[in-house]
A and B are shown apart, each in its own frame.
Chain A
């Protein structure tokens, strides 16, 4: 539906992709900052649509590996193919690689870290807020239709409340969810 506008836009530079994911990497405290990827890629730059990145998030979570690296590969590939994915992943991973080793080194010197610990917990809680915000964006779109609303609630309850294992849950829900939105009318002539 947005194919024409996408074709008219000039390709996104690898340098810009590197820069976006480098800074996400630097500030990705408290685990995956999927919400930040959304903000930089969709809200600020309009590189992808909401539905596109939300489906990418589902893929990223089902596939093995850290969610944020999978989403980074997905977005990088969507923007610039193999080189986009490689650049985005390298940019995302390099800063934390250096910073976590430095943190380990510093850890040897810091005995009294209760305030530091509090600061880190605060950053992590705020980071979760970014993800909740993304959940709200998705929910606003989802609740317009009955099927997807049930899918969203069922997924949340099974994984978030009942703590059922993610992969079997998604393997059961995904076909039902897709069936509920499938264009069943005979129009594939």
Chain B
């Protein structure tokens, strides 16, 4: 143990203290907590500047993973790999523990008539939310007709060939967008 170990422990605790409560209020996922997270990370704890926060947000969108991975990057900024791992656990573990509790109650009563009614009643809500989510992501990404067209075309392709590999479909999206961007207007 060197004399740095004590001082490098405090930032990890601060990350947990900020992120774990956000995990339990992030209803609808990452976007619900981005504003309060920025306040905490930039103004209260001064882990990064406002400009850096925007950059991390963009990188989190570019990289795979849920948008909440923004927390991982903040953790990385604060304390490198230990920070990234601790931040990831802090943002995903509390909500996941709650989810498994609810899931287990849900699964225990499979097959009962009332459970079937709950499932039948929640399924159309899930369906409506899927469409609403598609609209929300397109709005958030400022998608033009190209984005909408591609999304609908992909849905059509998958309806015709349900087992088409997603990687092909995602690659097709990248190729189409790069081709359009590369053509001089």
Q: A residues bordering B, Cβ < 8 Å?
A: 1, 3, 25-36, 39, 43-44, 50-52, 54-70, 73-74, 77-78, 81-82, 85, 89, 93, 95-97, 99-104, 107, 114-136, 138-139, 141-142, 148-149, 151-156, 159-161, 166-167, 170, 173-174, 177-183, 187-188
Contacts and interface: CB of A to CB of B under 8 A. Distances in A.
B59 A107 contact: yes
- Interface on chain B toward A: helix, strand, loop, or mixed SS? helix
Given A31-B66, A133-B155, A155 B103 contact: no
A89 B59 contact: no
Contact of B113 (A118, A138, A188): A188
27 contacts: A29-B64, A30-B137, A32-B29, A34-B130, A34-B133, A51-B123, A55-B119, A58-B129, A63-B95, A65-B68, A66-B92, A67-B29, A69-B95, A73-B103, A95-B64, A100-B60, A107-B55, A115-B181, A120-B174, A129-B151, A130-B169, A132-B130, A153-B128, A154-B128, A155-B132, A160-B133, A167-B27
Contacts of A39: 158, 162-163, 166
Most chain B beta-carbon contacts within 10 A, residue among A44, A119, A126, A127: A126
A100 B64 contact: yes
Nearest to B137: A128
Interface of B: 23-30, 55-56, 59-69, 72-73, 76, 81, 84-85, 88, 92, 94-96, 98-100, 102-104, 106-107, 110-111, 113-114, 116-138, 141, 143, 146-148, 150-155, 157-159, 162-163, 166-167, 169-178, 180-182
A26 B111 CA distance: 35
A29 to B, nearest CB: 5
Contact of A183 (B95, B102, B106, B113): B113
B173 A126 contact: yes
Contacts of A174: 121-122, 125
Contact of A181 (B92, B106, B120, B180): B120
A59 B103 contact: yes
Contacts, number: 371
A77 B118 CA distance: 19
B163 A44 contact: yes
Nearest to B29: A66
B95 A123 contact: no
Contacts of B154: 125-126, 128-130, 132-133
Kindly list the 7 A-B residue pairs having the minimum CB-CB distance in the complex, ordered from nearest: A129-B154, A96-B65, A65-B95, A122-B177, A126-B173, A155-B128, A160-B132
